[in-house]
């Protein structure tokens, strides 16, 4: 196939300031998708109007051959869609902040709080019923459409729509590409020429090997980080979860230090990505009750508050740009979400390997078959084909299997509004292993109560 | 009837031999058989030989008793090899548990998982695998039955590193079933127990008596008596009742036992092996007396080990079902296939066949999978003398989840050093 049909791409959460500016830019810049339609759907009509104006202006200024539609009706967006991209934020930032704040009072300091732990669980309980109702709508309105999910918690959301619908879909997180880029930057080698193999769960994915011209990239990266006296460096500014900015003794500013990932690499022989703020949440040793994560690891537990603050600035810029003033923004990330490239691979049957979140089904034999894992997947016209990568080292396999147990229980708790299953999920999460079971239980109850308005299945 | 050779490696074991000898010598179908007691402890072996000899006379049993310190002699042409020794003995076990205690970790038992279980595994697994390798030459058709702890990782080592058919037996669930039957005032054999899990954390999902599930009633009775608070909390939270008792199951969860938490809260104490050893000395005196013809025979456990029935079910294709430790291989689909699990196993002339159990509740499956990961790394660490894998095994263990990685490494090194003499693969 070398000619594309015009496709209809529906964004559920289309006013997302994190994702939409990047997606719009990427798709507009990708000429082979000319003639296609972007449908922005969001329940926040004010933000949706601004974002639609923003994308329309970008379209006009670049002379791109795309149509833009916008709607607050999900059914309208899904009808006839070829691709559905989910970018919504479950329950909104304020409830999320509330949940993570409650966990903090119990001594659990989550640097990211979007994957696992109390924050990840609560985001899952809110987001999973939404994603399941989206895919169930898709079965009626666009049964052949493919779903790309970008919403967190990635693993349990992806598990949920695979378990509860026949819609074909994957979860995509650019984290691993960010880390490979970081290896390249720190070692001053071209990231695109690094050969690597990785597998695990989203936000705790194990790079088992990475090489560049016969060089051992992981060992060199470790040595490079270890050579700096980060411990004596001052914290220059707080960055996001994966990029604490530290000034080292030679006065160079680095965005990488990674004491936790380095410890895990020494221990298991594989490098966990995408960075300390995420990977610390999957093991019990680093950020439990009573640990000083700021002093020891330069991690902070106020990520969501800072994120909310930062978003205000970004939104101001988006509003200005939508009115024709100032530059276009590019969201939080460099463009490596690849939605346009995956659609291209499918439309033109040009197989492309992308790190995606899919159901394991034997691709990693020593991880449970039902687990949602992140690994290389071949994307082509027939769909998504996980690549058999073989066994993980036993330690990382154990961590992955435990993460699956939490995914599994989170999904069932969310779908059934079942407090007991939610308690089981939280009690099996390594972040609560420093709590008494009774404390875990009252932590859960406090969070459920605080997020009551966005948890109808638990309270109706 | 069948005349077979049944050899005990660890044949002077005071824990097991009085019971086993009574079971086997009372079994008419085994007339003409030979029982071989093999041990490296000459003094204890002599006493146990006399003890079993007296039992033979009293039961008027048609069985030959042989005692030897030569393992090859014991294994040659054996039909069943029963492992009953404890690697390194009680002194060294005490050392491990005391090191863990010095790091703030109490162990109520310390023989399955945690620091105590790991070190027992590192010592025992290579020894028992070597026995199985010797069996491949000296008695390739024999079956191996292991009673030694840590049950699960020893059986995994055997399954992975030898072609000899093997199985692990623990009477824990049997003892609990008898206890429940007494509480209810009904005959033990009338309780139908549905249970699966890993040894020393085997989850009872249902107990049928006359078609009714009596597990909730049993839990209420335990609650009224204030017994097994940790097991009941697990049942309330996760829907399965773990056996055999708080003293064992506490070691599989991070909530009950961790650095700085006192076991007292759960009505348990640290296992001071020194105290056990004092009791064992007293018990041994009574075996010595009985062996010399003074006083009655001893009872170490009530007889629920069923070694006689296990042997006969194989020999005579009796198709009996026992709770045994075997490789999962799909019997519990949501537990990894290469995990050693404890569940119903059909024993016939062809061997040991795990009975398909079905899914465990997901949280319970997760507990088994964590235990499976610890088994896996314990076996590989033991066989390869690999400190790094031993550290990974320990770090995967819920008991150390609240500790710093550095401190876990330090604790491990102290224990390895203390056990140096029993760990040739780590130090040679």
Q: B-chain residues within 8 Å CB-CB of A405?
A: 362-363, 365-366, 369
| Separation of alpha carbons A428 and A404, rounded Å | 10
Which chain A residue shows the shortest CA-CA distance from B372? Answer: A398
Cβ contact (<8 Å) for A401 and B398? no
Q: Does B366 touch chain A (CB under 8 A)?
A: yes
In this predicted model, what pLDDT tens digit does every residue of A332-358 receive, in sequence order? 445 677 899 999 999 988 888 999 999
Radius of gyration for chain B, computed over Cα atoms and rounded to the nearest angstrom:
21
Instruction: Answer yes or no: is pLDDT of A224 > 90.
Output: no
Which chain A residue shows the shortest CA-CA distance from B254? Answer: A433
Residue B300 has what pLDDT?
Answer: 55
Residue A290 has what pLDDT?
Answer: 79
Q: Does B92 touch chain A (CB under 8 A)?
A: no
| Separation of alpha carbons B266 and B250, rounded Å | 9
The Cα of A158 is separated from the nearest Cα of chain B by a number of Å equal to: 18
Say how many CA atoms lie within 13 Å of A313 toward its Cβ.
7
| Separation of alpha carbons B64 and B276, rounded Å | 33
The Cα of B88 is separated from the nearest Cα of chain A by a number of Å equal to: 27
Domain A91-111+173-301+348-460 indexed as CATH 3.40.980.10: no
Q: B-chain residues within 8 Å CB-CB of A395?
A: 373, 377, 392, 395-396
Residue A182 has what pLDDT?
Answer: 86
Residue A237 has what pLDDT?
Answer: 39
Which chain A residue shows the shortest CA-CA distance from B409? Answer: A267
Identify the contact set of chain A against chain B, taking CB-CB distances under 8 A: 263, 267-268, 284-285, 288, 366, 368, 370, 394-395, 397-398, 401-402, 405, 408-409, 412, 420, 423-425, 427-428, 430, 433-437, 440
- E-only strand ranges, B210-305: 212-213, 241-243
Which chain A residue shows the shortest CA-CA distance from B380? Answer: A394
Exposed / middle / buried, residue A312 (Cβ in 10 Å: 0-12, 13-18, 19+): exposed
Q: DSSP letter for A435, please.
A: S
Q: How far is CA A153 from the centre of its chain?
A: 7
Return the structure tokens found at B34: 């030979």
What is the widest separation between alpha-carbon atoms in chain B? 60
Residue B349 has what pLDDT?
Answer: 86
In this predicted model, what pLDDT tens digit does every residue of A389-447 receive, in sequence order? 989 999 999 999 999 999 999 999 999 999 999 999 999 999 998 898 999 999 999 99
Mean pLDDT confidence for A64-84: 96
Classified as helix, coil or strand, A70 is: strand
In this predicted model, what pLDDT tens digit does every residue of A86-122 receive, in sequence order? 999 999 999 999 999 999 999 999 989 999 999 999 9
The tens place of each residue's pLDDT in chain B, 428 residues long, gives 789 999 999 999 999 999 999 999 999 999 999 999 999 999 999 999 999 999 999 999 999 999 999 999 999 999 999 999 999 999 999 999 999 999 999 999 999 999 999 999 999 999 999 999 999 999 999 999 999 999 999 999 999 999 999 999 999 999 999 999 999 999 998 998 999 999 999 999 999 998 899 999 999 999 999 999 999 999 999 999 999 999 999 999 988 888 878 889 899 999 999 999 999 999 999 999 999 999 888 875 556 678 999 999 999 988 888 999 999 999 999 999 999 999 999 898 888 989 899 899 999 999 999 999 999 999 999 999 999 999 999 999 998 988 999 999 999 999 999 999 999 999 98
Instruction: Answer yes or no: is pLDDT of A127 > 70.
Output: yes
Cβ contact (<8 Å) for B404 and A366? no
Which chain B residue shows the shortest CA-CA distance from A434? Answer: B402
Q: DSSP letter for B162, please.
A: -
Characterize A282-309 residue by residue with b for buried, 16 or more Cβ atoms within 10 angstroms of its Cβ, and e for exposed: bbbbbbbeebebbeebbbbbbbbeebee
Residue B173 has what pLDDT?
Answer: 95
Residue A332 has what pLDDT?
Answer: 47
The Cα of B237 is separated from the nearest Cα of chain A by a number of Å equal to: 7
Structural contact between residues B246 and B230, judged by C-beta atoms closer than 8 angstroms: yes
Question: Which has the higher per-residue pLDDT, A302 or B16?
Answer: B16
Q: Which of A268, A288, A409 sits opposite B392 (nearest CB)?
A: A268
| Separation of alpha carbons A398 and B376, rounded Å | 10
| Separation of alpha carbons B91 and B88, rounded Å | 8
Residue A240 has what pLDDT?
Answer: 44
Q: A-chain residues within 8 Å CB-CB of B395?
A: 267, 285, 395
In this predicted model, what pLDDT tens digit does every residue of A131-171 receive, in sequence order? 999 999 999 999 999 999 999 999 999 999 999 999 999 99
Q: What is the ipTM of this complex?
A: 0.79
Q: Which residues pair with B33 in a beta bridge?
A: none
Cβ contact (<8 Å) for B392 and A436? no
| Domain definitions of chain A by residue range | 91-111+173-301+348-460
Residue A334 has what pLDDT?
Answer: 55
Instruction: Answer yes or no: is pLDDT of A286 > 70.
Output: yes
Instruction: Answer yes or no: is pLDDT of A52 > 70.
Output: yes
The Cα of B318 is separated from the nearest Cα of chain A by a number of Å equal to: 35
Characterize A84-120 residue by residue with b for buried, 16 or more Cβ atoms within 10 angstroms of its Cβ, and e for exposed: bbbbbbbbeeebbbbbbbbbbebbbbbbbbbbbbbbb
| Domains delineated in chain B | 5-168+278-307 (3.40.50.720)
Residue A282: pLDDT band with limits 50, 70, 90: very high
Residue A330 has what pLDDT?
Answer: 64
Q: Which of A288, A423, A428 sits opposite B366 (nearest CB)?
A: A428
Full 3-state SS string of B127-148: HHHHHHHHHHHHCCCCEEEECC
Cβ contact (<8 Å) for A284 and B392? no
* Predicted model pTM: 0.87
Cβ contact (<8 Å) for A284 and B389? no
Residue B323 has what pLDDT?
Answer: 95
Structural contact between residues A70 and A43, judged by C-beta atoms closer than 8 angstroms: no
Q: Mean pLDDT over all residues of chain B?
A: 94
Q: Mean pLDDT over all residues of chain A?
A: 89
Beta-carbon count within 10 A of B74 CB: 26
Cβ contact (<8 Å) for A434 and B402? yes
Helix (H) or strand (E) holding B5: strand B5-9
The number of C-beta contacts closer than 8 angstroms across A and B is 88
Residue A230: pLDDT band with limits 50, 70, 90: low
DSSP string, B390-411: HHHHHHTSGGGTTS-HHHHHHH
Q: DSSP letter for B111, please.
A: S
| Separation of alpha carbons B14 and B11, rounded Å | 9
Which chain A residue shows the shortest CA-CA distance from B398? Answer: A433
Q: B-chain residues within 8 Å CB-CB of A368?
A: 334, 336, 369
Residue A443 has what pLDDT?
Answer: 98
């Amino acid at each position: 196939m070398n000619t594309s049909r015009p496709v209809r791409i529906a964004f559920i959460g289309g006013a997302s300031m994190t994702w939409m500016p990047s997606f719009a830019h990427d798709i507009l810049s990708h000429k082979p998708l000319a003639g296609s339609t972007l449908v922005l759907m969001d329940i926040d009509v004010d933000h949706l109007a601004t974002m639609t104006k923003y994308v329309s202006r970008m379209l006009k200024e670049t002379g791109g051959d795309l149509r833009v539609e916008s709607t607050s009706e999900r059914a309208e967006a899904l009808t006839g869609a070829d691709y559905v991209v989910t970018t919504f934020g479950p329950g909104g930032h304020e409830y999320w902040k509330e949940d993570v704040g409650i966990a903090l009072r119990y001594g659990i300091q989550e640097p990211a709080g979007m994957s696992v732990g109390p924050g990840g669980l609560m985001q899952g309980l809110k987001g999973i019923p939404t994603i399941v109702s989206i895919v169930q709508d898709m079965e009626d309105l666009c049964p052949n459409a493919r779903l790309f999910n970008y919403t967190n918690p990635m693993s349990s959301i992806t598990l949920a729509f695979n378990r509860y619908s026949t819609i074909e879909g994957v979860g995509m997180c650019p984290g691993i590409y960010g880390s490979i880029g970081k290896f390249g930057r720190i070692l001053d080698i071209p990231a695109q020429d690094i050969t690597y193999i990785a597998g695990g769960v989203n936000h705790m994915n194990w790079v088992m090997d990475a090489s560049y011209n016969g060089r051992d990239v992981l060992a060199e990266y470790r040595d490079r980080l270890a050579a700096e006296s980060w411990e004596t460096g001052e914290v220059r500014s707080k960055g996001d979860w994966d990029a604490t900015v530290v000034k080292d003794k030679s006065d160079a500013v680095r965005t990488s230090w990674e004491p936790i990932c380095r410890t895990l690499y020494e221990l298991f022989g594989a490098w966990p990505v995408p960075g300390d703020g995420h990977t610390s949440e999957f093991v019990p040793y680093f950020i439990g009750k009573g640990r000083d994560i700021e002093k020891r690891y330069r991690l902070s537990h106020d990520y969501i508050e800072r994120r909310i603050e930062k978003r205000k600035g970004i939104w101001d810029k988006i509003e200005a740009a939508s009115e024709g003033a100032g530059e276009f923004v590019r969201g939080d990330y460099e463009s490596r979400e690849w939605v346009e490239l995956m659609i291209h691979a499918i439309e033109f049957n040009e197989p492309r390997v992308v790190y995606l979140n899919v159901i394991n089904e034997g691709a990693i034999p020593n991880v449970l078959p039902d687990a949602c894992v992140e690994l290389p997947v071949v994307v082509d016209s027939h769909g998504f084909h996980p690549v058999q990568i073989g066994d993980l080292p036993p330690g990382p396999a154990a961590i992955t299997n435990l993460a699956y147990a939490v995914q599994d229980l989170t999904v069932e708790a969310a779908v059934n509004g079942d407090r007991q299953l939610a308690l089981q999920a939280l009690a099996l999460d390594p972040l609560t292993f420093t709590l008494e079971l009774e404390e875990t239980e009252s932590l859960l109850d406090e969070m459920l109560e605080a997020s009551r308005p966005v948890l109808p299945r638990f309270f109706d | 009837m069948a005349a077979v050779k049944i050899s005990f490696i660890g044949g002077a074991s005071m824990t097991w031999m009085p019971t086993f000898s009574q079971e086997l010598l009372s079994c008419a179908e085994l007339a003409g058989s030979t029982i071989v007691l093999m041990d490296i402890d000459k003094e204890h072996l002599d006493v146990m030989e006399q003890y079993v000899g007296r039992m033979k006379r009293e039961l008027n049993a048609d069985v030959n008793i042989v005692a030897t310190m030569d393992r090859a002699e014991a294994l040659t042409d054996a039909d069943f090899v029963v492992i009953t020794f404890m690697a390194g003995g009680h002194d060294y076990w005490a050392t491990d548990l005391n090191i863990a205690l010095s790091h703030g970790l109490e162990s109520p038992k310390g023989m399955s998982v945690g620091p105590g279980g790991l070190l027992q595994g590192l010592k025992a697994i290579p020894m028992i695998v070597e026995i199985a390798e010797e069996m491949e030459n000296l008695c390739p058709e024999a079956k191996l039955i292991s009673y030694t702890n840590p049950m699960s990782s020893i059986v995994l080592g055997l399954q992975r590193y030898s072609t000899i058919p093997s199985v692990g037996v623990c009477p824990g669930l049997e003892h609990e079933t008898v206890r429940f039957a007494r509480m209810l005032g009904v005959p033990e054999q009338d309780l139908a127990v549905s249970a699966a899990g890993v040894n020393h954390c085997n989850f009872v999902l249902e107990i049928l008596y006359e078609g009714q599930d009596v597990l909730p009633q049993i839990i209420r009775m335990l609650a009224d008596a204030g017994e097994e608070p940790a097991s009941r909390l697990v049942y309330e939270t996760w829907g399965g009742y773990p056996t055999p008792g708080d003293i064992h199951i506490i070691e599989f969860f991070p909530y009950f036992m961790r650095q700085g938490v006192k076991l007292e809260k759960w009505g348990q104490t640290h296992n001071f092996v020194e105290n056990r050893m004092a009791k064992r000395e007293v018990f041994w005196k009574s075996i010595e007396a009985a062996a010399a013809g003074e006083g009655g025979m001893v009872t170490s456990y009530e007889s629920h080990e069923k070694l006689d029935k296990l042997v006969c079910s194989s020999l005579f294709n009796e198709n009996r079902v026992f709770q045994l430790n075997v490789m999962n291989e799909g019997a519990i689909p949501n537990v990894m296939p290469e995990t050693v699990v404890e569940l119903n196993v059909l024993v016939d002339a062809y061997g040991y066949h795990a009975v398909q159990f079905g899914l465990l509740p997901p949280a319970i499956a997760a507990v088994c999978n964590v235990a499976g990961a610890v088994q896996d790394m314990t076996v590989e660490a033991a066989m390869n003398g690999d400190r790094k894998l031993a550290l990974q095994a320990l770090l995967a263990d819920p008991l150390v989840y609240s500790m710093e990685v550095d401190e876990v490494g330090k604790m491990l090194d102290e224990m390895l050093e203390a056990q140096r003499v029993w760990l040739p693969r780590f130090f040679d």
